[in-house]
Amino acid sequence: MKKEFILKEFEYLQYKDNTKDNFIKKDIFDSLEKFVLENEKTAQYLKITTKNGFGKVLQAQNYV
């Protein structure tokens, strides 16, 4: 069964082998990060940033 994520504005995804919170697997995180870097239009909806204690995360923004 596939896991669904719902992100609200300013929430974020991070990678970790854990089923709690908004954790995703490293390979999925890397694929999303690559997609964001290769497609400028995604920058208005998903950005790469860092959070203290979490490291690199993908943060939702301008969500409608």
Assigned domain for 36 exists: yes
pLDDT (average), residues 11-22: 70
| Residue 64: predicted pLDDT | 54
- What is the pTM (predicted TM-score) of this model? 0.73
| Residue 34: predicted pLDDT | 92
Assigned domain for 3 exists: no
Assigned domain for 1 exists: no
Q: How many domains does the chain have?
A: 1
**Positive/negative CA dihedral, 58, 17, 3, 22:** negative
The CA-atom distances, in angstroms, between 42 and each of 32, 35, 45, 47, 49 are 10, 8, 5, 8, 14
Which helix (H) or strand (E) is 15 found in, with range?
Answer: strand 12-15
| Residue 31: predicted pLDDT | 92
Assigned domain for 20 exists: yes
Assigned domain for 21 exists: yes
pLDDT one-digit tens code per residue, 22-60: 678 888 889 999 999 998 888 788 888 888 877 888 888
Q: Indicate the pLDDT class of residue 20, thresholds 50, 70 and 90.
A: low
